[in-house]
Amino acid sequence: MSSQGYSPYTMNEYIKNVVKLILNNSTAKLPIKKSDIITNAVGGNTKFFNDAVNGAKEILLDVYGIKLHEVPESKSTKSYITTSTLESSVLELTEKQKPELTLLFLVLSYIFMKGEPVNEEVVIEYLKKLKIPMEEPNDSFPFVVKKLLTETFVKQLYLKRTKVQPISASEAEYILEWGYRAQEEFSKKDILDIVANILQKPAVCFVRQHSEVRQKAVEMEIEVEN
């Protein structure tokens, strides 16, 4: 037995269980709770959790090109999400995923260019101006757009939705900003370049956004050096 109280064989099994659990849940893109990993992958043995997850991280990255992230804003319990390190193509998306990604890109790019956070109703009005129906599915968006905006994307951590109570309003409102998954999966530089190209303007013309992108690049360089 090792000093940690388990045999190498047992830990290997725990690691395999964690990898399997992560892979089975990665498609839904919902955060995976630490408590679920402990219960379903390491036999309820809390003391084995860290070693099992660290071992699984290596396998997920080396074999599957999947990076496991601990969500920094986890509230009651730790939770994790996965992102792919492999380059993907739109051609690899399913027919269901393509319109969802289109909607997500529209929302994230609008929030970034508008300046975070943005009132939820302002985002909804923006989508309506693009002739995107909120409540009724259609050929272009075969799902309830408002549900994805206010529920699905929030649960997947693409969006952070916060309730606020304006002094001048009787009812609470919600504001939207980029969620943790969006920060990990999307590049604000790419979004800025795309928007600038569409509007046929140099990216530097968008002063605030360009400054934020440059600051992010500097931070990443410092992180690599350290």
For 17-30, write each residue's pLDDT tens digit.
999 999 999 989 99
Percent of the residues in the chain that have a pLDDT greater than 70, as a whole number: 91
Does position 164 have pLDDT exceeding 70, yes or no? yes
How far apart are the C-alpha atoms of 158 and 81, rounded to whole Å?
11
For 111-144, write each residue's pLDDT tens digit.
999 998 999 999 999 999 999 999 999 999 999 9
Could you tell me if 173 and 149 are in contact, meaning their C-beta atoms sit under 8 angstroms apart? no
Burial (CB < 10 A; 0-12, 13-18, 19+), residue 48, is buried
CA angle 155, 156, 157 (to 5 degrees): 90
Starting at the edge strand that comes first in sequence, how are the strands of the sheet with 32-33 ordered?
32-33, 79-84, 66-70
Q: First vs last Cα of the chain: how many Å apart?
A: 37
Quick one: average pLDDT of 72-82? Answer: 85
**Cis before residue 117, ω within 30 degrees of 0?**
yes
Could you tell me if 51 and 4 are in contact, meaning their C-beta atoms sit under 8 angstroms apart? yes
Q: What's the chain's average pLDDT?
A: 90
- Closest by alpha carbon to 177, among 124, 125, 127, 112? 112
Provide the b/e sequence for 120-144 (b: ≥16 CB within 10 Å): beebbebbeeeebeeeeeeeebeeb
Domain annotation for the chain: domains and CATH numbers: 8-86 (1.10.10.1200), 99-182 (1.10.10.1210), 187-226 (no CATH)
| Per-residue CA distances from 173 to 17, 53, 82, 126 (Å) | 42, 39, 31, 17
Using 50, 70 and 90 to split pLDDT, how confident is the model at 9?
low
Name 178's bridge partners: 159
Using 50, 70 and 90 to split pLDDT, how confident is the model at 2?
very low
